[in-house]
A and B are shown apart, each in its own frame.
Chain A
Amino acid sequence: MDIISNLAFGFDHALTFTNIWYCFIGVLLGTLIGVLPGLGPVATIAMLLPITFGLPPVTAMIMLAGIYYGAQYGGSTTAILVNLPGEPGSVVTAIDGHQLARKGKAGLALFTAAVGSFFAGTVATFLIAGFAPPLAAVALTFGPAEYFSLMVLGLAAAVALAHGSIVKALAMVVLGLLLGTMGQDLYTGAPRFTFGSTEFADGIDFTALAMGVFGIGEIIRNLESAQVREPIKSRLRDLIPTREEFKAIIAPVLRGTGLGSVLGILPGGGAVLGSFASYSVEKKLSKNPVPFGKGAIEGVAGPESANNAGAQTSFIPMLTLGIPSNPVMALMIGALIIQGIVPGPNVITDKPDLFWGLITSMWVGNAMLLILNLPLIGIWVRLMTVPYNLLFPAIIAVCCIGVYSVSNNPFDVYLMAIFGVIGYFLVKLDCEPAPLLLGFVIGKLLEEYLRRAMLLSRGDPLVFFERPISATLMILAILALVLVLLPSVRKKREEAFRE
């Protein structure tokens, strides 16, 4: 069995003392910061990115992945206990999870979320191990035209799934791509958009952009409307469900895992799609006398499994194709590039230790979450009530130290401040910053593939439609955009996002 021997190889790397330690630190830090008010997984990862730069690539990625699950789990915990989902993936968890908590069943909801996530994580680990290598093998046959089309599809999907106006999302992608072109031109070495300053010679620092837009911008927004967070004071001791309750969650967990895994692989997917889809499926299938929205346990079990499965399978396109399907994966790709690794199908063959070590560490991380979180829930609850006035100076301090430490250049600190302001105004103007980050991260690669493809075709843009794989991807991308622009779909989409 290939999968088994590969996974065993991965465990060899994931289970070294150093890697277990950093996985643990990542999961712990992720949860710790994830439960704090106003900090979702993207902001958490952006903030902690610089700490990982000094680590070897495998360890760094393992730690980042740990931070991701931790932050996500933290987000679910706040969703259940304070009805404030820290991240979009746990929006639907808040609906029934919080109602359960109000009925004194917070323990049950938390247990379900933890166990469902762990189960989904386990299944997703095997799925990645099974599907990633063949996908990478296919991707190895891709030429520049296919790659270009694939990236366009990824960006189109991100636009289609963004909240609000399509034109704004498109503009954000293009702005991200444009910011990504700053710095030296890959082919000629000509400085681009440096405006005579040497500070821009290497382009805009990825960490400064991510921290500014997602960390600092977020602070300014939170200061605008100070939220009052009152966690539910319910008995947390009754964690273990009764036999009937346990039976009720089995099927939703299985369905959620399946849905989440599939939707997580899609470009533009990730944790969010799966959790929404799972919630509506469970709502339709529910035989629970308690209606949805009033504290149905299925409404926690399904979406929580789905978002964790999706969070994990979204690593598949990132690791095998080098395409980020969501902002978290964009950060991961940014981290890989900083580590000197070009994300793409070559990672599996060139860096098997990184690939398999990371995958198996996901399972280790999920197991740690399960062991760590249920006993520590009391601490998390207390952290949730930290007043924001004490918290935001800490975020500023960590961001300042972090962004400076990347290249010991004060200029990056100024850049972060500027992107903080820009990020704030973008959100204020209803422009989602996620597509901007995606565009920024893959901008250089996209251009490289475009230029190579055009060289090979002698300047004929039809090349993208002549090669079958490339044509299929392009047509899918165009379909995705045309569909969301159709008036009928547009209406439904707006309704879906409002829910």
Chain B
Amino acid sequence: MLTIRNPKDFFTGLLLLVIAAVFAYGLTELRIGTAYRMGPGYFPMVLTGMLTIFALILVVSGFRTDGEPIGEIPWRALFIVTVSIVLYGITLKGLGLVPALALTVLLSTFAAKKWDAKAAIGVTIVLVAACYGIFLKGLGLPISPFGPWVGGY
């Protein structure tokens, strides 16, 4: 039985193998060509090959060398931060900058280890006001402050 002795190397290798597989799939649609007249797929093919080799070396090294454990992953923070950003992308056009940013900022505050209602609401208000002033009024970004979902334009 093989045991994973170096988890960091092993999982890096695994992650890279998955990425290499995705690119390898994408390569099937591309003309490779020759070294003389390279097609769109030639350079990416070489790179995908190199990535696969490095990934395999890392997987092997995961079994053969000793390394530290990966350590705890802050899943909660990871999830909340990601969702709050995605939420901004989804709601911006509909809600407009002010409500969308308020939602994003408020949600993101939950990623902290200890959530404090006063601080969270305070930081949301201050940030939204500051961003409205700096980015819409100051820099004149073409984003509407209130979008069609809340009766704006």
Q: Are B47 and A174 in contact (CB under 8 A)?
A: yes
Q: Are B40 and A410 in contact (CB under 8 A)?
A: no
Q: Are B36 and A454 in contact (CB under 8 A)?
A: yes
Known pairs A171-B12, A429-B8; A392 contacts B108 (CB<8 A): yes
User: Beta-carbon contacts of B84-111 to A below 8 Å, as 1s and 0s?
Assistant: 1110111011000100010011001101
Q: Are A389 and B51 in contact (CB under 8 A)?
A: no
Query: Within B46-91, which residues are at the interface with A (CB < 8 Å)?
Result: 47-48, 50-51, 54-55, 57-58, 61, 70-74, 77-78, 81-82, 84-86, 88-90
Q: Are A188 and B40 in contact (CB under 8 A)?
A: yes
Shortest beta-carbon distance, A195 to chain B, in Å?
A: 6
Q: Are A181 and B36 in contact (CB under 8 A)?
A: no
Of the candidates A390, A399, A429, A450, the one whose C-beta lies within 8 Å of that of B11 is: A429
Q: Are A51 and B30 in contact (CB under 8 A)?
A: no
Of the candidates B51, B85, B131, the one whose C-beta lies within 8 Å of that of A417 is: B85
Shortest beta-carbon distance, B61 to chain A, in Å?
A: 7
A401 at the interface (CB under 8 A from B): yes
Known pairs A405-B141, A417-B82; A171 contacts B58 (CB<8 A): yes
Q: Are B85 and A216 in contact (CB under 8 A)?
A: yes
Query: Within A302-350, which residues are at the interface with B (CB < 8 Å)?
Result: none
Q: In whole angstroms, what is the CA distance A407 to B73 when docked? A: 33
Q: Are B85 and A413 in contact (CB under 8 A)?
A: yes
Shortest beta-carbon distance, A408 to chain B, in Å?
A: 7
CB neighbours of A401 from chain B (8 A): 97, 101, 131, 135, 141, 143
B137 at the interface (CB under 8 A from A): no
Q: Are A425 and B111 in contact (CB under 8 A)?
A: no
Q: Are B12 and A174 in contact (CB under 8 A)?
A: no
Q: What is the total number of residues of chain B having a CB less than 8 Å from a CB of chain A?
A: 70
> Looking at the complex, which of A11-19, A89-97, A455-463 is the stretch in contact with chain B?
A455-463
Query: Within B16-46, which residues are at the interface with A (CB < 8 Å)?
Result: 16, 19, 23, 26, 30-31, 34-44
User: Beta-carbon contacts of B2-15 to A below 8 Å, as 1s and 0s?
Assistant: 00000011011001
Residue of B nearest to A164 (CB): B8
Shortest beta-carbon distance, B148 to chain A, in Å?
A: 15
A424 at the interface (CB under 8 A from B): yes
A240 at the interface (CB under 8 A from B): no
> Looking at the complex, which of A60-68, A218-226, A260-268 is the stretch in contact with chain B?
A218-226
CB neighbours of A411 from chain B (8 A): 89
Shortest beta-carbon distance, A270 to chain B, in Å?
A: 25
Partner-B contacts on A (CB < 8 A): 51, 54, 165, 167-168, 170-171, 174-175, 177-178, 181, 185, 187-188, 190, 192-193, 195, 216, 219-220, 223-224, 226, 388-390, 392-394, 396-401, 404-405, 408, 410-411, 413-414, 416-417, 420-421, 424-425, 428-431, 447, 450-451, 454-455, 458-461
Show 30 A/B contacts (Cβ-Cβ < 8 Å), sorted by A. A167-B54, A167-B57, A168-B54, A170-B54, A171-B58, A175-B16, A192-B30, A192-B41, A193-B23, A195-B26, A224-B74, A389-B114, A392-B108, A392-B111, A392-B112, A393-B123, A397-B104, A400-B89, A401-B101, A401-B131, A404-B88, A404-B89, A404-B92, A404-B143, A405-B143, A410-B89, A413-B92, A421-B82, A429-B8, A451-B42
